[in-house]
Amino acid sequence: MNDPLITYLAIPLAKTVVILGVLLFIVAYLTLAERKIMAYMQARIGPNRVGPRGLFQPIADVFKLFVKEDLTPTQAERFVFVLAPILIFVPSFLVWAVIPFGDTFTVAGIPIEPVIADINIGILFLMAVASISIYGLILGGWSSNNKFSLMGGLRSAAQLVSYEVPMAFAVVSVLLMAGTLSMVGIVEAQRNMGVWFVIPGLLGFGIYFICGVAETNRNPFDLPEAESELVGGFH
């Protein structure tokens, strides 16, 4: 079938819905697993009220998120204040458009490629889009008309920018081995060579992993969260 409506609209839209749905489901239950494990480590019970053993807690969290009050400071720059979280939220999902998930398969005689968009500069697109969230942090802190929010936003942005550079250099090692910027091309290069690039590029993988932890503000790179300051005061 060569119907343009199916080829250029229906199939990409269906792939987007499926990929985002599965992605959100996995992230939600990974968060639940983390909360359960942390509760066990800290001799607590953890989420156990919603559903059997708390398995429906992520669903309850979604409803709680939608009914939370949306407050805007009186003196805030309203347009920028609303734009800032969009600049953080949208790129985090947009990067998945170029990530392949498997081999081509057929549905009702229509070949389906498990990637939303196979572009020849996929890895460049991924890193460029992912870096947009830094602007969201800066704009969010500035637009709230609060000097402490501004300092917090700048501190978070400074950490992200500082780790973007070594992360990009770590990715370059993969590009040199694959000889292409396409995400699908990189996967195919690994299959043709019969080796995951993480093995010859172990040092680059270690650098990328550390930078990834820092980019997500997880321990021990949780400086932007200010947990030690909020809990321990001046200590």
Mean pLDDT of 32-52: 91
Mean pLDDT of 3-11: 70
> What is the spatial distance between Cα 99 and Cα 95, in angstroms, rounded to a whole number?
7
Report the percentage of the chain scoring pLDDT > 70. 91
> What is the spatial distance between Cα 125 and Cα 110, in angstroms, rounded to a whole number?
28
pTM over 0.85: no
Determine the pLDDT at residue 69: 86
> What is the spatial distance between Cα 23 and Cα 106, in angstroms, rounded to a whole number?
22
Mean pLDDT of 85-94: 89
Residue 92 has pLDDT above 90, yes or no: no
**∠ Cα 116 118 119 (to 5°):** 125
Between residues 130 and 232, the one the model is more confident about: 130
Determine the pLDDT at residue 104: 78
Residue 152 has pLDDT above 90, yes or no: no
Determine the pLDDT at residue 73: 85
Mean pLDDT of 194-204: 92
Determine the pLDDT at residue 156: 85
Determine the pLDDT at residue 146: 85
203-235 pLDDT, tens digit per residue, is 999 999 999 998 888 878 877 766 666 655 444
Residue 121 has pLDDT above 60, yes or no: yes
Determine the pLDDT at residue 74: 85
- Measured N-to-C along each axis, helices 11-41 and 57-67 cross at an angle, to the nearest 10 degrees, of 110
- Arithmetic mean of pLDDT over the chain: 86
Residue 105 phi/psi, 5° resolution?
-130, 170
